Amino acid sequence: MGRILRYVTGGLAVLALAACAQVWRHSGSDSLAAAPEGALRLASYNVHYIVLTQPEGPWSLGDWERRKGPLDAAFKTLDADLVAFQEMESFQNGSDGSVNLARDWLLARNPRYAATHHGDWRQTPQTQPIFYRSDRLEVLEEGWFFFSDTPDVIYSRTFNGSFPAFASWARFRELSSGEELRVVNVHFEFKSGSNRRLSAALVAERLAAPLAAGERVVLVGDLNARLGATTVEILEEAGWEFLPVEGATYHFNRGLNLFGAIDHIALAGPIAALGPPVVLRQQFEGEWPTDHYPLVADLDLSGRAAR
């Protein structure tokens, strides 16, 4: 029995060391410098939904009161021209998006910004808006499609019948230069690998024409897939180049960094990154605003910078 206990204890110690090594490998605190002159700063941020019918507990209405100040602090720290949000939802009943506390809170406290996909929730899904600095950018066009066999049917369920998931997209013009940029904001389903692969294939299909026309297209969001996964390879084969995000972007709402990035930024067309992307692995006002870290990249719309 003593020998068995020694084996078990030794095995647990090895597992603990391996877990510590993984956390160390995927951690590290990046600092966010000011954007280079002329750069367009873009960020991706999964801010987790709010359950309006739950007064207390994780992700509840009460918990939102704790999170909302730190979330605003995080948003201001990004100082981005474009922020693609995922899970910006105040969940109350099915797909009812008539209330969106996080969106309205941030817009009220950051008047230089406007948001896409902000209207009648029965016509436009509200949970993946793209915030943009309205003194620098204007929206030319916006739309959406669901990861479904019926992608143009709003709130249609995914390929295997799970909860609706979708892409929101918008085409912007920079006011000073006239240069245009299409941003595609995605959130792939986390449980099903086949759903993710089919979703990636649908994105590739839907964006084939803009890529073939040589448009600047940024794919951004929570792919629930790491670099090297088949989901990512499908999009790379379609023409996107993924920025090399190092370490974790999801932290279990604990600052626990167990695996590599699942939030990504990918580029296609005459556009380039001005340096590596930055993951802000930090608390804001002493709190975790959500269970993901914000991901930031500075972009050159001229495409002259080396990728």
Which residues have CB under 8 Å from 205's CB, separation 6+? none
Q: How confident is the model at residue 31, as a pLDDT?
A: 77
CB 276 within 8 A of CB 64: no
Domain residues for the domain of 146 are: 31-300
Mean pLDDT across the stretch 274-287?
97
User: Do the domain assignments include residue 10?
Assistant: no
Helix (H, G, I), strand (E, B) or coil at 45: strand
Classify residue 185: in a domain, yes or no: yes
Rounded Cα–Cα distance for residues 106 and 71 (Å): 8
Q: Give the lowest-confidence range in 10-19, 70-79, 289-298.
A: 10-19
Contact between 82 and 129 under an 8 Å Cβ cutoff? The reply is: no
Q: Is the pTM of this model over 0.85?
A: yes
pLDDT computed for residue 16 by the predictor: 35
Residue 37, pLDDT score: 94
pLDDT tens sequence across 85-120: 999 999 998 889 999 999 999 999 999 999 999 999
Query: Residue 306: pLDDT above 60?
Result: no
Note the pLDDT of residue 165: 97
Does 230 fall in a domain? Answer: yes
The amino acid occupying position 285 is: E
Number of domains the chain is built from: 1
Residue 7 covered by a domain = no
Predicted confidence (pLDDT) per residue in 12-39, tens digit: 333 333 343 355 345 566 679 999 999 9
| DSSP state at residue 228 | T
Kindly state whether residue 9 falls inside one of the protein's structural domains. Answer: no
The answer to whether residue 103 is domain-embedded is yes
pLDDT at 61 over 90: yes
Q: Is residue 306 part of a domain?
A: no
What CATH number should be reported for the domain holding residue 150? 3.60.10.10
Alpha carbons 208 and 215: distance in angstroms, whole number? 10
pLDDT at 11: 41
pLDDT tens per residue, range 210-239? 999 999 999 999 999 999 999 999 999 999
Residue 8 lies in a domain: no
Which positions ≥6 away from 285 have C-beta within 8 Å?
69, 70, 73
